[in-house]
C-alpha cells in the first residue's frame, strides 16, 4: 500500500507533510509555494496580497455548531487571517453527487451567506460540478449493501490584503518567544464525531467554527507577533511540531495551561482520542515576542473568541528540538507529530 | 427527482443556469457575482484583478492530448483569459480517494507543472484532502460488482490582472457585432469520450486543451472586442445562447463557417452527439465590433492556436431573440440552449 494514497495523506501529520514535500514541492517548487504558509503572499503593484485554498470534505455535512458551508467560509478566512491578511473575497466551487438534496444545498448556501456576511467577505465567483452517484458502500457493510447519502465537496479560495509592516513567518521565531493559544481545544472534532454514524452518544459540544480575522487583526496591533497558525487537522500537537521541526526548536508546553473543556476530555478519553490531536476551527496559536506576550494575551481575552486564551508555553532553546509537554503530574513527555489522521473527514 | 441534484445541474445548459440563479445568486447575490463572468473582476489599490475558480472531475483522468492536471491549469487560465486578464497565480486543491496511485498523482503533478510553465503562471498555494474509497459501482454493473478506479478531483482558483482600458461584458454587445470562433470544435469532448470505458473505438482525435491567454492578450490589441468566452460545457451552442438570452439578441450563425474536423463529425454522428454541444478546452468565442472583425480574425489566424479561426456569424437584431443556424442545406434552424448535459464529467 506504499504506492497509493491513504487517509493519512490528507491528515495534518507526517504522511501529509511527506506527500507535500516529495510530490508537490518537488515538482511545483517556487519561492512562494515553498513557504508552505496557510496563505501564499505576493506583491502586485505595491500591494501585498494573500491567496489561499481549502477543500472541505467533512462528514456529516451538518454538525452541532455548523455545517460544511459555514466551515468553508470560516476555514478559508482563517487561513488568510493567520497569514496576517484581512480577507476580501472568496471563490466557492462545489462538487456535488447526483441525488443530493436541493433543500440541503440551499441550507448550505445560506450558511455560506451568513458566514460571509459575518466575516465581511464576499463570494464573488463560483463553479458547480455534478458527479455520478456511486453506491458508496463501506467495506465492512458491503454485505448489507447499505449506501450512504450523496456527498458534497466544497472548495473555497480566498484573497486578502496584508498591511505594510506585517511580516509573519516561522523563520521569525526565536528562543524565548511565548506560545499563546486563543481558547479551548478539541471542540470541532468532538462535535463532528458526535454526529457521525456509528457513535451512539450525543453531547452538547458544538464546533468552535468561527472566523478569526477580527481577532488576528486586533492582536497584530497589540505587540510583536512572529507567527500564527490555526490548529485544524492534526490539532495543536501538529502545529507545535511543525514549529519545532522547521526551526529546530525546543518547545516546552505546560499541559495545565492548555484550556480543554471537561466534556471534551471525557468524550476524548472514551474514544481514545487525545484533544491535543483533535481539529479546531476557531482557534489560533500565536508565537509572540516574550515581552509582548502579556499585552497580546490581554487583547485576546478582551474578545469573545479569545476569552479563554492562555500562554501555554515557550520556545525554550535549540539544544533538543522537539515538543515537550510538562504533564499535570509533574513529569515531561514528548508530544509527537501525528503520523496519520486519527479523525479523517473532519474538515 | 425535482428536489435533488442531477447530472444536468453540472452541465452548461438550462438546468445549470437555473440552479445558479435560483440558489446561488438568490442567496449570495452581490454585484461582482451577479456578472456571472468567467472571472469576477475587482479593484484593489488602483489595480483591477480577476478571480476565478473551477473544479475538474473529468473521467478518465488521462485522455488523448492531456490529463486532469493539464486541464486544471488550462481551464482556469482560460477563464482568466476570456475575462481579459493576464493570469498570474493559481491555487491547486486536490480531493483524492484513498487507494489512488501515487505514480498517477506524480504524473498529474508534472502535467500541472508543465502546463503552468507553458502558461507563465505559478501555483503558489495548495491543499490536499483524502476521502474514503467508496466501492463505486455503476448501477448497470452492480451485478458484476465491477468497481471503478480511485478518483481525484482538482480545484484550481486563479488570479490575474486586467490592464486599464479593457472592458469586456455581454452588455457591451450590440447589433452588427461579428462572432468569431478561434478554431475547430468538439475535439476535447470526443477525445475524452474515446477513452471512456464503454466505447470500443479509438480515434486519433486529441483534446484541444491549451492555455489561451497568449492569444486573447494579442487580439485585445487588434481591435474592439466586446466579449469573449471559452465554449466548454454545453459547447458553442451554450455560449451563443447565453449571449442571445442575456441581451435579448438575435444571433445568426452560418453552419458552413464553423470549423469542425471530419472525424469529429463522424464520431459525433455515430454517438448521436452534435459537435455544437460538445465541450472544448482550447477555443474561444469572440464578439467583436463589425469593423474590427477582420483585423482580429487576422491576429487569431497568425497564432498557431487560432489558425483555423473563422467569422461564424453576427448579432443580427433584437426582434427575434435566439440563435439561428443557417444550415449547409440552405435552411435555417433554431440552435437551442442545451437543457442538461449530454456528456457529463468531460472537464
B23 inside domain: no
Strands B152-162 and B85-97: antiparallel
- Of the residues B129, B162, B195, the one at which a domain ends: B162
A4:B123 CB<8 A: no
The C-alpha of B327 sits at a distance from chain A's nearest C-alpha, in angstroms, of 33
Q: Report helix, strand or coil for A332.
A: strand
Domain around B316: 170-334
A134:B139 CB<8 A: no
Collect all residues with Cβ–Cβ distance below 8 Å to A200 and sequence separation of at least 6: none
Query: For residue A23, what pLDDT is reported?
Result: 95
Q: Which residues of A touch B56 (CB under 8 A)?
A: 129
- Decide if A27 contacts B117 (C-beta within 8 A): no
Phi and psi torsions of B88, nearest 5°:
-120, -60
The C-alpha of B164 sits at a distance from chain A's nearest C-alpha, in angstroms, of 13
The C-alpha of A111 sits at a distance from chain B's nearest C-alpha, in angstroms, of 10
A129 inside domain: yes
A3 inside domain: no
B345 inside domain: no
Q: Are residues A243 and A268 in the same domain?
A: yes
Query: Which pTM does this prediction carry?
Result: 0.94
Per-residue pLDDT of chain B (347 residues; tens, 9 = 90+): 479 999 999 988 889 999 999 999 999 999 999 988 899 999 998 999 999 999 999 999 999 999 999 999 999 999 999 999 999 999 999 999 999 999 999 999 999 999 999 999 999 999 999 998 875 544 334 333 334 578 999 999 999 999 999 999 999 999 999 999 999 999 999 999 888 855 666 678 999 999 999 999 999 999 999 999 999 999 999 999 999 999 999 999 999 999 999 999 999 998 889 999 999 999 999 999 999 999 999 999 999 999 999 999 999 999 999 999 999 999 999 999 988 877 889 89
Q: Are residues B262 and B320 in the same domain?
A: yes
Q: Are residues B189 and B49 in the same domain?
A: no
Nearest to B297 by CA among B174, B166, B258, B306: B306
CATH number at B272 reads 3.90.650.10
B32:A8 CB<8 A: no
A130:B7 CB<8 A: yes
Q: Are residues A156 and A187 in the same domain?
A: no
A45:B40 CB<8 A: no
A155:B9 CB<8 A: no
Q: Are residues B122 and B236 in the same domain?
A: no
Spatial distance between the Cα atoms of B87 and B78, rounded to a whole number of angstroms: 9
Q: Which residues of A touch B40 (CB under 8 A)?
A: 89, 91, 124-125
B96 inside domain: yes
Spatial distance between the Cα atoms of B282 and B142, rounded to a whole number of angstroms: 37
Spatial distance between the Cα atoms of B283 and B305, rounded to a whole number of angstroms: 8
State how many domains chain B has: 2
Query: For residue A195, what pLDDT is reported?
Result: 86
Percent helix / strand / coil, chain A, rounded to 5: 35, 25, 40
A45:B45 CB<8 A: yes
Query: For residue B199, what pLDDT is reported?
Result: 66
B8 inside domain: no
- Of the residues B162, B193, B223, the one at which a domain ends: B162
B130:A344 CB<8 A: yes
Separation of CA A94 from chain center = 20
Q: Which residues of A touch B137 (CB under 8 A)?
A: 134-135, 137
- A286-314 burial string, b = 16+ CB within 10 Å, else e? bbbbeebbeebbebbeebebbebbbbbbb
- Decide if B85 contacts A44 (C-beta within 8 A): no
Q: Which residues of A touch B88 (CB under 8 A)?
A: 42, 44
B9:A96 CB<8 A: yes
The C-alpha of B142 sits at a distance from chain A's nearest C-alpha, in angstroms, of 9
Q: From the list B5, B98, B128, which residue is nearest A96 (CB)?
A: B5
**Among A125, A136, A145, A198, the residue to mutate for chain B (most B Cβ within 10 A):** A125
Spatial distance between the Cα atoms of B239 and B230, rounded to a whole number of angstroms: 8
Q: From the list A5, A40, A97, which residue is nearest B100 (CB)?
A: A5
Which residues of chain A register pLDDT less than 70?
1, 135-148, 197-202
pLDDT, tens digit (0-9, with 9 covering 90-100), for B227-264: 999 999 999 999 999 999 999 999 999 999 999 999 99
Transcribe A104-172 into DSSP letters: HHHHHHHHHHHHHHHHT-EEEEEEEEEEPPP--B-GGGTTTTPBPPPPEEEEEEEEEEE-TT----GGG
Q: Are residues B113 and B259 in the same domain?
A: no
A98:B132 CB<8 A: no
> What Å distances lie between residue A57 and A194, B63, B131, CA to CA?
17, 27, 7
A24:B126 CB<8 A: yes
**Among B16, B91, B92, B125, the residue to mutate for chain A (most A Cβ within 10 A):** B125
Q: Which residues of A touch B19 (CB under 8 A)?
A: 128
Q: From the list B16, B126, B136, which residue is nearest A134 (CB)?
A: B136
Number of A/B CB contacts below 8 angstroms equals: 290
- Decide if B113 contacts A27 (C-beta within 8 A): yes
A258 inside domain: yes
Q: Roughly what angle, to the nearest 10 degrees, separates helices A213-220 and A293-301?
A: 150
Q: Are residues A183 and A66 in the same domain?
A: no
Collect all residues with Cβ–Cβ distance below 8 Å to A330 and sequence separation of at least 6: none
A261 inside domain: yes
Query: For residue B204, what pLDDT is reported?
Result: 84
A88:B42 CB<8 A: yes
The C-alpha of B250 sits at a distance from chain A's nearest C-alpha, in angstroms, of 28
Q: Which residues of B touch A112 (CB under 8 A)?
A: 27-28
Transcribe A31-75 into DSSP letters: HHHHT--SSEEEEETTEEEEEEEEEE--SSSEETTEEHHHHHHHH
- Of the residues B106, B141, B162, the one at which a domain ends: B162
Collect all residues with Cβ–Cβ distance below 8 Å to A165 and sequence separation of at least 6: none
B129:A10 CB<8 A: yes
Spatial distance between the Cα atoms of A220 and A292, rounded to a whole number of angstroms: 11
- Give the cell for residue B163: 490592464
Query: For residue A142, what pLDDT is reported?
Result: 38
CATH number at B85 reads 3.30.1330.10
- Decide if A312 contacts A181 (C-beta within 8 A): yes
A23:B102 CB<8 A: yes
Q: From the list A27, A39, A130, which residue is nearest B113 (CB)?
A: A27
Q: Are residues B152 and B175 in the same domain?
A: no
Q: Are residues B229 and B147 in the same domain?
A: no
Q: Are residues A198 and A153 in the same domain?
A: no
Q: From the list B5, B100, B159, which residue is nearest A51 (CB)?
A: B159
Q: Are residues A177 and A316 in the same domain?
A: yes
Q: Are residues A207 and A229 in the same domain?
A: yes
Q: Report helix, strand or coil for B318.
A: coil
Amino acid at each position: 500500500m506504499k504506492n497509493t494514497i491513504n487517509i493519512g495523506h490528507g491528515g495534518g501529520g507526517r504522511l501529509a507533510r511527506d506527500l507535500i514535500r516529495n510530490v508537490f514541492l518537488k515538482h511545483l517548487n517556487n519561492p512562494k509555494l515553498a513557504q508552505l504558509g496557510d496563505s501564499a503572499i505576493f506583491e502586485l503593484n505595491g500591494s501585498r496580497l494573500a491567496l489561499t485554498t481549502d477543500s472541505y470534505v467533512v462528514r456529516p455535512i451538518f454538525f452541532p455548531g455548523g455545517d460544511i458551508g459555514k466551515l468553508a467560509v470560516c476555514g478559508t478566512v482563517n487561513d488568510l487571517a493567520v497569514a496576517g491578511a484581512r480577507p476580501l473575497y472568496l471563490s466557492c466551487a462545489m462538487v456535488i453527487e447526483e441525488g443530493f438534496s436541493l433543500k440541503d444545498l440551499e441550507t448550505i448556501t445560506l450558511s455560506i451567506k451568513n458566514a460571509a456576511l459575518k466575516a465581511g467577505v464576499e463570494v464573488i465567483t463560483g463553479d458547480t460540478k455534478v458527479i455520478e452517484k456511486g453506491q458508496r458502500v463501506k467495506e465492512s457493510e458491503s454485505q448489507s449493501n447499505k449506501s450512504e447519502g450523496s456527498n458534497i465537496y466544497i472548495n473555497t479560495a480566498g484573497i486578502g490584503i496584508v498591511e505594510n509592516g506585517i511580516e509573519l513567518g516561522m523563520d521569525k521565531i526565536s528562543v524565548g518567544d511565548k506560545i499563546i493559544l486563543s481558547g479551548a481545544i478539541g471542540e470541532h472534532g468532538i462535535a463532528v464525531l458526535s454526529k457521525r454514524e456509528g457513535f451512539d452518544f450525543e453531547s452538547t459540544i458544538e464546533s468552535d467554527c468561527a472566523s478569526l480575522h477580527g481577532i488576528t487583526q486586533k492582536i497584530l496591533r497589540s505587540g510583536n507577533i512572529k507567527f500564527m497558525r490555526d490548529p485544524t487537522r492534526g490539532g495543536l500537537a501538529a502545529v507545535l511540531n511543525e514549529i519545532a521541526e522547521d526551526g529546530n526548536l525546543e518547545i516546552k508546553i505546560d499541559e495545565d495551561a492548555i484550556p480543554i473543556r471537561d466534556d471534551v476530555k471525557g468524550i476524548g478519553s472514551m474514544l481514545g482520542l487525545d484533544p491535543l490531536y483533535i481539529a479546531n476551527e476557531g482557534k489560533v496559536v500565536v508565537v509572540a515576542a516574550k515581552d509582548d506576550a502579556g499585552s497580546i494575551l490581554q487583547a485576546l481575552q478582551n474578545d469573545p473568541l479569545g476569552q479563554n486564551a492562555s500562554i501555554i508555553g515557550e520556545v525554550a532553546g535549540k539544544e533538543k528540538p522537539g515538543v515537550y509537554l510538562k504533564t499535570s503530574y509533574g513529569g515531561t513527555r514528548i508530544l509527537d507529530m501525528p503520523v496519520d489522521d486519527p479523525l479523517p473527514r473532519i474538515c
